[in-house]
Amino acid sequence: MKNNNIQKKVRTRIAPSPTGDPHIGTLYQSIFDYAFAKQNNGDFILRIEDTDRDRFVKGAEENIINAFKWAGIVPDESPSQGGKYSPYRQSERLYIYKKYINELISRKSAYYCFCSKERLAKIREIQIKNKVQPKYDKYCLNLKKDEIDKNLEDNKPYVVRLNVPNDTDIIFDDLIRGRIIINTKSIDDQILLKTDGYPTYHAAVVIDDHLMEITHIIRGEEWISSTPKHILIYKAFGWDIPYFAHLSLLRNRDKSKVSKRHNNTSIDWYREEGYLPEALINYLILLGWSSPDGKEIISMDEFVRKFSFSRVTKGGPIFDIDKLNWINGVYIRQLSLLNLKKLIIPYLKYKDIKSSYLDSILKLTQERLKKLSEINDLISFFIEDIDIPKDLIYGIFSINDVKKIIKNIILIIDKYGINEESEQIMREYALNNNYKIGDFFMIIRLAITGRKASPPLLDTMYVLGDKKVKERLSRLINT
């Protein structure tokens, strides 16, 4: 396959459709487009493909742009930024598509098709019955010029189809998957222009990519079967053919394509749940690419420097939310207290908490946070009254032992306060009375936090303060 783009400035693009929430798969693809462009001092373009008017969702384009901004994937050209290849919104480029599609018609590379839905359905029915791959039978390719002109004059509904050559191998070298050969026997005469005057994806994407001088098309593997159609359109115009690289689709654990049924696919959901954009990008990088040094924590800047198509995953990567949570936790732990506090505030339901008290709590809980939205559950026992799990406590020691232990702990706190000295005295008390250290301190933890797991116990007691700790301990033995 001839390719004359080697000397051109690298230009990549992401072209989502505004048909709903910004999709995690779109962000996944974009990091490869962005990284390859930046590695080669090229440009990364955001284009909006809004020709499917039936699925168009108002406000979706703005959400896409905002999601990319949040993720730190900033395009060099886009509908909001503009650029010398404007407009970047397909619905504003209809006159361009019609001009070029008419050129294909004049070259006999495309043709008008006036077939009714009924005729098309009948053809398909017969082909299926005869166990032939369903595809258009090129009936309208042979219409005479005067018949075409009359149909157009009578405003008879039509589409424009690509004239796909018979039994021809289309060969291209995928930057990820190597040489791919697809014969045109399996390719229908693809519709280029719909009856509503809008181009199909196949026509618009090729025309846009050529006019915007896109050199490398990096997209999902679901487009492999469409690539020959696009190559045929490039050839019909006599245009240079770009490089192609097809990424593996994100998969669920059952190997099915990531979808709303199994996972949250909206970028907005990850933002609202409190995933840091750097962590989400890091995770998506690891899903589709392996670092030569095996690192699991990697920034976008480092990815740009180290990226190569040879290390891109060919198998379907499994989307593992637990791994994402781990990575997000690493990034949260790297935050300064001030930055963590700023990020936490929008999630915090305790609006009247003192700033200094919140600082003390965050110092203890930062290590345990996996996502920002967990903060309220994680710190609630510091602020609200708790339900003491007596069934757990009395499953460790008898009622008499529990009362004895609690009374002595209160006496130790009264005399020594909450510090390392009092902790050591409690430890000695437990040993002297043949209590297991783990069980002994678990009683205290359950009594003052209401849960089996919490930040380090002494630090937790210190932040809660003598008064609150003694109140909770006393409530256990007085109720």
Annotated catalytic residues are 260
Calpha distance 376→373 (Å, rounded): 7
Three-state DSSP at 173 gives strand
DSSP state string for 184-207 = GGG----EEE-TTSPBPHHHHHHH
Instruction: Tell which phi-psi region holds residue 235, choosing left (phi > 0), alpha (psi between -120 and 50) or beta.
Output: alpha
Residue 59 burial (10 A CB sphere; 0-12, 13-18, 19+): exposed
- Whether residue 29 contacts residue 217, with contact meaning beta carbons closer than 8 Å, is answered with no
| CA 246 from centre of chain | 17
Spell out the residues 6+ positions from residue 330 whose beta carbon is closer than 8 angstroms to its own.
279, 297
- Whether residue 248 contacts residue 221, with contact meaning beta carbons closer than 8 Å, is answered with yes
- Whether residue 461 contacts residue 419, with contact meaning beta carbons closer than 8 Å, is answered with no
What is the β-pairing status of strands 43-46 and 11-14?
parallel
Calpha distance 391→372 (Å, rounded): 31
Calpha distance 460→458 (Å, rounded): 5
**Widest CA span of the chain, in angstroms?**
108
Spell out the residues 6+ positions from residue 427 whose beta carbon is closer than 8 angstroms to its own.
437
